[in-house]
Amino acid sequence: MLTLTINDKQVSVPEGCTIMEAAKTNDIHIPSLCNMEGIHNIGACRICVVEVEGAKTLMASCITKAREGMVVRTNTGRVRNARKVLYELMVSNHNVECLSCKRNQSCEMQELGRVLGVENARFKGAQSNKNIDASISITRDMSKCVLCRRCVTVCHERQGTGIIGPQNRGFKTEIAPPLCQPLGAVNCTFCGQCTVVCPVGALKETSSVDAVWEAIHDPKRCVIVQTAPAVRAAVGELFGIPAGTPCTGKLASALKELRFDHVFDTNWGADLTIMEEGTELLSRLKLFAKGEKVSLPMVTSCSPGWIKYIEHTFPEMLPHLSTCKSPHMMTGAIIKTYYAQRLGIAPEDMFVVSVMPCTAKKFEITRAEMMNYGLRNVDAVLTTRELGEMINSAGIDFANLPDSKFHDPLGFSTGAADIFGFSGGVMEAALRTAYEVITGRELPGDNLHVTPIIGLEDVKEASILIESPLPEYAGLDGVELKVAVTSGTKNAKTLMKQVKEGNSPYHFIEVMGCAGGCIVGGGQPRNTDGEIREKRRGALLWEDEHKKLRKSHENPAVMAIYGEFLGEPNGPLSHKLLHTSYVKRGKYNEFTDETAVIEIPVDSRKVSVDSRERQNTMDARLKASPAIQPSGDSERAMALVSENTRLKNELKDSKETIEILRNIVADYSNPDR
């Protein structure tokens, strides 16, 4: 431990912590824009500067280590003025169309301005020329980018994909893929984690809200909605409900209030997925037991971000993927076949909407492989955030809605479906069914949980010994079934390297594209709570453990579909509707001509605002001002005095600004910082 003084208060903190961390542990708030605790600490914005006794310049508190005996002041006049100037300089090159921005009222830059007390930005000048780049999943409005580099860190260090980074230099710097290519033209997985960490409106999901409203208001359309497991664990946060509160009943009620014709649950599709994926796994294991050549380990295919990653990075490993579509795509396929026949509605008159925690799902539904009989399985994807936008727009008081249930027959699910929303859940759900099918006995473990794989660690593994199986699976007697679970493409890369090199010890691997699973997907509410993953996971565990039926093969609504329509798991019709194939893309898209770029009309792109245009506007205002066009000597004298005062104030501000900038430049070159 070391002792230092912050704002005349002596504090003790662990060695190695920064000034900002030391202040936070002692309830002293230091404002910042770029910093993200434990993830991104590079001192890019400099808003967090503080005075350190003995230092020549102000120090960035997020990267300056606390030292024994250090004396720090976080709120002096010098510090406050520096923060304001830095903020105003950022605003001078920022698109300030706040009223029409999706992040209005939830923008970290707006909030920072309020904290700093900045009401007017004094600096005017040229703005860098940055356009809008739209892909099917993510839209980048670089006129709003503040170059905090959070998105770069999460893309490189958390996801391990490294798609975006700083391009060009100086005033022309922008965050983009190499050579400033469109995001939809490179090997982006569309995981959307960049949209979650962006402090402003520069990164967001490509909106489907207008298309969904148009469908709802079309009397000729039958509009059907389904919602993913993870959505119910997070949507309440958008309406002031504490994180970790299950909102299943309110969610169903809200969707009905929005006037969807039928409200279904993707959980039903998750149970269906287990029937198909579990059967596929057992088929491969039986071939393996006979000594036949088969692609093991089998790898899950529920996460579209993960699927796109493996298509780009490990295209030769595609045979290891399960051929199952993701749960919402399976549900969409059933809606436009079985349910359309049941209602007597033409499938082309149906409009299926999926509410998902994931931005990659927007890309998934456009894949050519996700069609049957010439129609898309799903027509539109809304993120959890977009659904919140629609609920607010409709004037629905979500927090006070009564609970209701999803519609039958695709609204009933088991507890196994709920846990699809977090890392390890898909694996556990599959094992609950597969083990019972093989042995005729319930999966051993504490309350049906496979404890080693339920958690938020990077890579988790477990093994289950198969003993005394049913006669059909006699060849698996004595086999130790080895499984692994990971989330985040950076961690998936580790496991896939083992598979590629032929030394993977596993039979079955679960991969989710986002670290922690769908509960922290790219379309979920932005939340700075460090325990948000645990809270949302807890909500889904609660849902699972409070259901009477907790194994997918016990879902009567799923079994009825097989009896009435599909026939059997992995049967001919199931394969046609519920299974898919994959695209060998390559790291540089060298194996495909597909693109996910959306062309933006030239007249809607952002253009730079030249300083001369600003000056012309100011000159026009001055010419129209009565103070500059006096009618008499006294008025002329008053105008001159007023103008003289204004110029003196501007000169004073300029000198202060120059001094602050000089100190900041000196700080960057300070070897002790």
Active site residues: 277, 280, 302, 322, 361, 364, 369, 518
Structure tokens at 660: 């602050």
CA dist 327 and 267 (Å) reads: 8
Beta carbons within 10 angstroms of residue 17's beta carbon: 15
449, 429 in Cβ contact below 8 A? no
Q: Are strands 371-372 and 2-6 parallel, antiparallel or unpaired?
A: unpaired
- CA-based nearest residue to 200, from 97, 72, 290, 123: 97
Amino acid at 498: Q
239, 398 in Cβ contact below 8 A? yes
- CA-based nearest residue to 67, from 24, 3, 9: 3
Structure tokens at 570: 């992995």
Q: Where are the beta strands (DSSP E) in 215-306?
A: 222-227, 262-265, 298-299
DSSP state of 156: I
CA dist 488 and 158 (Å) reads: 7
DSSP state of 146: -
Structure tokens at 390: 């629609």
Beta carbons within 10 angstroms of residue 145's beta carbon: 24
Residue entry with tokens 């809607």: 604
CA dist 428 and 464 (Å) reads: 12
Residue 381, H or E segment: strand 380-383
Three-state DSSP state, 373 = coil
For the chain, percent helix, then strand, then coil, each to nearest 5?
A: 45, 15, 40
Amino acid at 587: K
CA dist 48 and 175 (Å) reads: 22
- CA-based nearest residue to 544, from 642, 620, 454, 410: 454
- What are the phi and psi torsion angles at 306 (to 5°)? -65, -40
Structure tokens at 98: 């706040």
Longest dimension (CA), the chain: 111
Q: Are strands 2-6 and 132-135 parallel, antiparallel or unpaired?
A: unpaired
Beta carbons within 10 angstroms of residue 165's beta carbon: 14
DSSP state of 74: S
Contacts within 8 Å (CB) and 24+ apart, 3-7? 3/68, 3/69, 4/66, 4/67, 4/68, 4/69, 4/70, 4/71, 4/72, 5/70, 5/71, 5/72, 6/72, 6/73, 6/74, 7/72, 7/73, 7/74, 7/75
Please confirm whether the linkage preceding 409 is cis (ω < 30° from 0): yes
Structure tokens at 262: 């039928």
CA dist 260 and 11 (Å) reads: 57
Rg, Å, the chain Cα set: 29
